[in-house]
Structure 1
Amino acid sequence: MTNASAKDESKTAPEQLSAREKLTRDFMASTVVFLVALPLCIGIAVACGVPVERGLIAGIVGGAIGVISGAPLLVSGPAASLIVLCFALVTDYGLLALGPVVMMTGVWQLLAGYFRLGQWFRAVAPAVITGMLTGIGVLIIGSQALVALDEDPKATFIENVAAVPFSLFDTATGAAGHSSAPFLIAVATVALIVGWNQFRPEFLKIVPGHLVALLSVTAAAVLLSLDVRALDISSNFFEGLNVVSPADFEFLTDPVLIGRSAIFAFVASAATLLTANAIDERQSFVKTDYDKEMKAQGVGNFFSGLLGGLPVTGVIVRSSVNLEAGALTRRSTIFHAIWLLLFVSLAPQLLGLIPKACLGAILVYTGIKLVDVGAMGRLWTQGRAEFVIFGVTLIGVVFIDLFVGILAGLITAVLKLVWTFSHFEIHEEEGPEPGVVHLHLVGAATFIQLPRFARALESVPVDKELHVHIERLDHIDHACLQLLSSLQRQREGAGHPGVHVEWQALSDRYRKALVGTGTAEAQQASPSIVRMVWAEWKRVHAEVDSMADNDEVSRWDDWIPAENIELRSSAATLDEVIELAAPRLASLVGLDTEPVLEALSAASDGHVPLGDGVSLPHAAIEGIERSVVVVVTTTTPLTIGDDQTDIFFVLLSPAGDTAEHLRSLAHIGRMCHRSPLLDELRRAPKPESAALVLDMISQVAARGETLSGASRSLALISAEDAAHAHELRTELSEAFASWALITDKDHAILDTLRPIAGNDIGAVLLGSIKLHEEPLLQALVDEANKLNRASARVLLLRGQKVALGLVRAS
């Protein structure tokens, strides 16, 4: 079998495999994970200053909790992120305190899972997390550099750093009985890890470098009888365990240790959930239930502590190897725990051959990997304030202790947030061109600043064109947006020079921060979702005959039955509409009402107004396979933005299935093409009558028939550059006849269009569409922009307005 075919086989969808094939994949993956976990469990135990057995029992328990895990592909065990805490605990209070504190860590996590706080551990500022992990990495490097030289680590980071040069000098000169063997083993270990990761054969890519280094260096140490310290481990693994006794619980009467257990829980939970999120991003067939995983981690830490083991957390290295090795279910992580237990039960004496210097070098390399220079660069790009938060956290973790560092970082992040939302500056200047005024906004434009903002806008004479620059805004709320929109309408209605808001600059700023800085990867990220949006638009709105695809038509049969309809409700707000629809949607998909309500509420500000009194609140959620919708009508139209709305299609789609989500949005949009049948829906006396009307509208929409006239408008789509515009034209030309592409080569035409489309446009598409296509075109473009953080803009011009705009421009 070729490498390519093997790779294709590994990516086969799980549902296409038999039960035997799935079991085989999980079994093979578990053996690889076992080989990776074994040296890591041992090395972390040594770094924590505890017997090797304590790390191995944590690895076994971490695998066993796969039975109840909320993240089936996550592999748990002892982790480098907790080395600093464990070493400090054992140094300050002794080995007997470890078990009770780890058990209490599990209790905190169980409580967090029970109260559904799993997602909150993901809400910590990224700068704090990066500073914490970088600080831990620096501390690991400092302490394990001495272990790599066959010496015991000191109590503090400064002492460790100060001791390394003296140890290297003694090694080089042979003073104080120092041998060069540990140094050579450490160098060889790191060299083997780096070399293997760079040059390993493709068919061995799942074998990690540290395993190759451990086996090679241990074999060399034994064969050459090198003068190095090896691991101390009992010939009977179970004799080395230390189950917590009732007397040991006295440690938990110390408030300081209770506080330390809470810090253990915070760090372990944050590391676990960040790892689970990273694994979710790399595959799509299973997703994490964060609260369930929090409970599983709590159970794991409780029992690991009870047996005297190290704390357990989800570990990125083992989890990544598990995924790369082809694991499909939780059986892989469970099997790896069984292999660990069998190995330590039958052959623990083999572990006594491993040089401590090798394990120290492996952990030095691990510490270096925790110091993520790329993440630091991204923080610097996103803003100096973020880098300050990172720096405060890092300094606190390294030079004081982990708790102080995290607390200092969180306080700095909160102060930055307070400053962001209280700071607002307005700078006015006359433009170089006559009759133009520029307003530059800095900080956060919120309703608190509305009077000041309004005065600044109204102070600009109406006979002057106003340009509002918002690229330096950190936040702008609905009240300020509405003020800008109102001023634009007033000026245009009175025939005065307009108000131009530089939205594109703000979009470019955040795209640079979140997607990239113009690399090929960043530039290629946008078109994929746009192609999907326009493919759906094209599928529906290209010229079609009345004989649509039967499968497509039939899938919408009875899509909205009577029990999914609530007529003439008394709901007075969008939130009340959602609260009314959520229980029905939850019952349709077999979920609890609470997560459905949370998903819809979180996305309610992104509802899609379709015009003619119709709105489409929607959200995506895990655990469903197909979109479902509930229709709610209200006795009195609600004011949603600038629209009066009395018909709400509340849509719930499967998370991760963008095509299904967009297909459902498009179908509802087609149902609402200003059809006179919507008035029949408003007049329906009961849900059964409304269901018949909706089924008729749905079938008409699915067959591509139109109920509107053929009046047309001019669609002007502005893009960042010619390449993006060309991509859009290729897709749109198949759906809406032909589009004219205007680029900077046509600078005269482009300059003519700028007063209409904005001064920052790089290229423009001009095309003609039917009037009833306008709302859905705009809605799908908005949805694509949200999903991909893109910034394509649509301007729809009709008749007299088109002529007036072009005359003014010329």
Structure 2
Amino acid sequence: MPRTAFALEGIVTTQLEDKSQRRTGRLPKAPHFGADLAASLVVFLVAVPLCVGVAAASGVPVELGIITGIVGGLVVGLLPGSSLQVSGPAAGLTVLVASAVSQHGLGMLGVIVLGAGVVQILLGVSRLGTWFRAISPSVVQGMLAGIGLVLILGQIYPVGGLAQPDTTAEKFGGLGELATAMVTTPQGLAGLGLGVAALLIMTGWKKFAPAPLNLVPGPLIAVVLTSALAALVALPVQKIEVGSLLSSLNPPALTDFGAVNAAILGSILTFALIASAESLFSAAAVDRMHDGPKTRYNKELVAQGAGNAVCGVFGALPMTAVIVRSSANVQAGAKTKLSRILHGFWLLLFVVLLPGLLAFIPTAVLAALLIQAGWKLLELKAVAKLVREHRSEGFVLVLTAVTIVATDLLIGTLTGLAAAVIKMAIEVSRLSVNAKHADDHVHVELGGNATFLRLPRLLDHLENLPQHKHVHLDLSTVRHLDRACHQAVDNWVAEHRRNNGSVEVAMPAKVG
């Protein structure tokens, strides 16, 4: 074969391999091991304090958060769907988990998470994953803002050394007592100092740390420094309680499945929908950060469901794809899914070999980490911009967030979705009515969509037309005429003619 033919064959083969890798998301044969290894260590360092903090905020043993992180790496990391997105326990689900544990007990957590995983798998197999992309961005942003507000409102209590109240009303009502405790009690003063120090370190680390050191995650630096300070000075603060990983496993018993009722089924559905939405919205954001294979939404939903099913079997926390860990993975230079798999392995190795280190972390520091996570979920600049530029979208966002804070996550999200649908219906059903008056006739032309939502406006125009003039009612350019408006026009025409009026009507080609 000529040399040119060999060269062309090599080019074609390389292009086919590259296309196959982009399409499948499988690990490429190119040597990216070094980059993925380094990225996995960064993600691991980010994940450790967040796994522990989310578990503590959810009111469950901290080991269950680590287990979920391990499953997110070793199970979801191996499955197809997304290549660089990292899964684990998410701050956005702490409100749901805490509520579910409070209502149904820790023993039912495994049943709920397992059921949610099965629902996610069914949604993915049914190819419904892409439909999550159709949810109004204002509802999503409102949901995240509401979660952020609830998270901040709850986590300021551990900073002051007090237990977190159960309800939103109690959290607001206890703010006075919390403020007093923060400035009068030794535990409150110490917790406030550590929390503020942790927030300052996390905020300023990336900006002020020298170039080689700023690659280390700010949350890890904050946890290490404040925990060391608390230990050296012997500050009177509460620390994380750590037990054996195996003894913390909380697998559901067969009798737990027999106790499933309507409330638990509602929790299962809520977990599945919220976790799916958060994972797929995160996937859309992560895909914009890199040039590698893009997420296949249905496969990613199946992978998330499989991970939650495994977490349910262990009785651990639910998981989602987490934007903080995922962005850290991309920014650290990850090339393939090997980085997220290895991060799960490092979590497992850490909790097996060095679990005692977690016992040095004050709960006030973990609360500060989650307060920062809640603040990021608020995205106040984006909210202000949306309210300023699109008031109706801003209204949906604020309504969703406020309802979540006032009630719960499910009711708030459903309220936001309903408001978005109503807003869309009103905007879509725009109807223009133009009347041109002559000496002996009136030409009325309608345009847009004539639906029942615009029926009052349509009838006002028709009923104000003069009886003594011939009316030419032109509906030929109306894109949609629903049954309510069609019937109203027919009734008006009949009434106008009974009153000796003259009417000529041009109807649209298609009537809804």
Shorter-chain TM-score bucket reads 0.7 to 0.9
For residues 667-703 of structure 1, what are the alpha-carbon distances to aligned partners after superposition, in whole Å with 9 as ceiling and x for unaligned? Answer: xxxxxxxxxxxxxxxxxxxxxxxxxxxxxxxxxxxxx
Q: Which one-letter code corresponds to 1:60 in the other structure?
A: I
1:477 Cα deviation (Å)? 9.2
- 1:324 is matched with 331
Cα distance change, pair 440–336 in 1 and its aligned pair in 2 (3 A): farther
Cα distance change, pair 159–18 in 1 and its aligned pair in 2 (3 A): closer
One of 96, 116, 120 as aligned partner of 2:107: 96
- 1:141 is matched with 152
Secondary structure class of the residue paired with 1:141? helix
Q: Which one-letter code corresponds to 1:328 in the other structure?
A: K
One of 250, 259, 264 as aligned partner of 1:242: 250
Cα distance change, pair 440–83 in 1 and its aligned pair in 2 (3 A): farther
How far apart, CA to CA, are the structure 1 residues paired with 2:30 and 2:347? Answer: 23
**Alignment pair present for 1:211 and 2:220:** yes
**Alignment pair present for 1:37 and 2:47:** yes
1:420 Cα deviation (Å)? 1.7
Instruction: Give matches, 1:259-274, under 5 Å.
Output: 259-274=266-281
Cα distance change, pair 178–336 in 1 and its aligned pair in 2 (3 A): closer
Secondary structure class of the residue paired with 2:288? helix
- 1:126 is matched with 137
How far apart, CA to CA, are the structure 2 residues paired with 1:100 and 1:245? Answer: 9
- 2:242 is matched with 233
- 1:794 is matched with none
Instruction: Give matches, 1:335-734, under 5 Å.
Output: 335-426=342-433, 445-446=448-449
Cα distance change, pair 371–440 in 1 and its aligned pair in 2 (3 A): farther
Cα distance change, pair 426–90 in 1 and its aligned pair in 2 (3 A): same
Please tell me whether the aligned partners of residues 107 and 302 of structure 1 are also in contact (alpha carbons under 8 angstroms).
Answer: yes
Q: Which one-letter code corresponds to 2:242 in the other structure?
A: I
- 1:188 is matched with 197
Cα distance change, pair 427–222 in 1 and its aligned pair in 2 (3 A): farther
Cα distance change, pair 215–423 in 1 and its aligned pair in 2 (3 A): same
- 1:279 is matched with 286
How far apart, CA to CA, are the structure 2 residues paired with 1:179 and 1:128? Answer: 37
For residues 716-743 of structure 1, what are the alpha-carbon distances to aligned partners after superposition, in whole Å with 9 as ceiling and x for unaligned? Answer: xxxxxxxxxxxxxxxxxxxxxxxxxxxx
Q: Which one-letter code corresponds to 1:42 in the other structure?
A: V
How far apart, CA to CA, are the structure 1 residues paired with 2:385 and 2:378? Answer: 13
How far apart, CA to CA, are the structure 1 residues paired with 2:106 and 2:478? Answer: 54
How far apart, CA to CA, are the structure 2 residues paired with 1:426 and 1:385? Answer: 23
- 2:58 is matched with 48
Q: Which one-letter code corresponds to 2:56 in the other structure?
A: V
- 2:94 is matched with 83
Kindly indicate whether structure 1 or structure 2 has the higher relative contact order, using CA contacts under 8 Å at least 6 residues apart. 2
1:152 Cα deviation (Å)? 1.4
Unpaired segments ≥5 residues, structure 1: 1-12, 431-438, 457-475, 481-810
One of 22, 25, 29 as aligned partner of 2:35: 25
For residues 742-800 of structure 1, what are the alpha-carbon distances to aligned partners after superposition, in whole Å with 9 as ceiling and x for unaligned? Answer: xxxxxxxxxxxxxxxxxxxxxxxxxxxxxxxxxxxxxxxxxxxxxxxxxxxxxxxxxxx
How far apart, CA to CA, are the structure 1 residues paired with 2:81 and 2:252? Answer: 28
Please tell me whether the aligned partners of residues 141 and 397 of structure 2 are also in contact (alpha carbons under 8 angstroms).
Answer: yes
1:332 Cα deviation (Å)? 0.6
Please tell me whether the aligned partners of residues 429 and 450 of structure 2 are also in contact (alpha carbons under 8 angstroms).
Answer: no
Q: Which one-letter code corresponds to 2:152 in the other structure?
A: I
Please tell me whether the aligned partners of residues 145 and 164 of structure 1 are also in contact (alpha carbons under 8 angstroms).
Answer: no
Q: Which one-letter code corresponds to 1:227 in the other structure?
A: P
Q: Which one-letter code corresponds to 1:166 in the other structure?
A: E
Please tell me whether the aligned partners of residues 69 and 292 of structure 1 are also in contact (alpha carbons under 8 angstroms).
Answer: yes
Structure number with larger C-alpha Rg? 1
Please tell me whether the aligned partners of residues 106 and 298 of structure 1 are also in contact (alpha carbons under 8 angstroms).
Answer: yes
1:400 Cα deviation (Å)? 0.8
One of 202, 211, 217 as aligned partner of 2:211: 202
Q: Which one-letter code corresponds to 2:103 in the other structure?
A: D
Please tell me whether the aligned partners of residues 74 and 315 of structure 1 are also in contact (alpha carbons under 8 angstroms).
Answer: yes
Q: Which one-letter code corresponds to 1:181 in the other structure?
A: A
Secondary structure class of the residue paired with 2:432? strand
1:374 Cα deviation (Å)? 2.5
1:394 Cα deviation (Å)? 1.3
One of 60, 63, 66 as aligned partner of 2:73: 63
**Alignment pair present for 1:159 and 2:170:** yes
1:178 Cα deviation (Å)? 4.3
Q: Which one-letter code corresponds to 2:430 in the other structure?
A: H
Cα distance change, pair 116–260 in 1 and its aligned pair in 2 (3 A): same
1:393 Cα deviation (Å)? 1.0
1:409 Cα deviation (Å)? 0.9
Cα distance change, pair 440–241 in 1 and its aligned pair in 2 (3 A): farther
* Structure 2 length-normalised TM: 0.79
More strand by proportion, 1 or 2? 1
- 1:765 is matched with none
How far apart, CA to CA, are the structure 2 residues paired with 1:29 and 1:114? Answer: 31
How far apart, CA to CA, are the structure 2 residues paired with 1:329 and 1:129? Answer: 29
Secondary structure class of the residue paired with 2:336? coil
Please tell me whether the aligned partners of residues 43 and 329 of structure 2 are also in contact (alpha carbons under 8 angstroms).
Answer: yes
Cα distance change, pair 300–172 in 1 and its aligned pair in 2 (3 A): same
1:199 Cα deviation (Å)? 1.8
- 1:109 is matched with 120
